[in-house]
A = this chain, B = another copy of it.
Amino acid sequence: MQKVAVALIHHPVVDKNGQTMTAAVTALDLHDIARAARTFGLGAFYVVTPLQDQQILVRQIIDHWVTGYGSHYNPDRQAALALIRLKPSLAAVIDDLAQAQGRRPRTVVTSARLAQGDLSYAQVRALASDGRPLLLLFGTAWGLAPEVLTEADYRLAPIQGVGDYNHLAVRSAVSIILDRISGEREER
C-alpha cells in the first residue's frame, strides 16, 4: 500500500443541509487516521485545510508528536504522525504526489451514499496494487462537496452495514476502508 495515500478534506465539504462549508480540524482525526495509515503501510496521509489558524493547529500537533516531547513519550505515535502532510487544497495534494511519484495519482472519492458506477472494494484493491499512485479522498462534516465527487477519477461503494443507518465517524470509515483494500482479511 506504499503507493496509496489518504487525504482528509476539510474544504470543500457539505453541512447537514448540503451547503458547502469549511470544517474545523479534529485532533483525534489526525491521530486515528495516521495510526490506521501506518498500520496498513500507506505512503502518506494528507490533511487539507485552507484556513491559516487550522494549519497552525495541525502544525503544532505534528511538531509535538514528531519532533517534540510526544516523540519521546510515545514513539509509536511519532511513527504514525510522521506520515501527515499538511496542504491548503486538494490541488496541492495532487501536485505534491505527482512530484514525489513522478506521475499524477488517480483519485478515488468515498461517500456514505451509493451511486451508479461505484467501484467495488475488489476493484479498488486492484488499483491499489498495480504500482501506480492512488489517492483516497475522505470528507469531514457531512461529506465531500459535489464538485469533488464529480471531478474524481473513481468513486468507491459505501460501507453499508446491516440496515439503512450509515453514519460512521470518518475515523471509522477510513479504518474499515483501508482494511478492506489491504485485503488482509482475505487470508483469515
Contact = CB atoms under 8 A, between A and B. Distances in A.
Interface in A120-158: 120-122, 157
A172 B121 CA distance: 19
Q: In the complex this chain forms, how many copies of it are found? A: 2
A61 interface: no
Contacts of A165: 38-39, 76, 79-80
Contacts of A74: 16
A79 B162 CA distance: 14
Task: Select the residue from A32, A120, A121, A173 with max chain B CB neighbours within 10 A.
Answer: A32
Contacts of A182: 161-162
Given A176-B175, A179-B180, A185-B185, A80 B159 contact: no
B171 A41 contact: no
A36 B120 contact: no
A21 interface: no
B171 A39 contact: no
Task: Select the residue from A120, A166, A175, A179 with max chain B CB neighbours within 10 A.
Answer: A175
Contact of A162 (B28, B41, B162): B41
A159 B185 CA distance: 9
A182 B28 CA distance: 26
A35 interface: yes
B184 A32 contact: no
A161 B121 contact: no
A10 interface: no
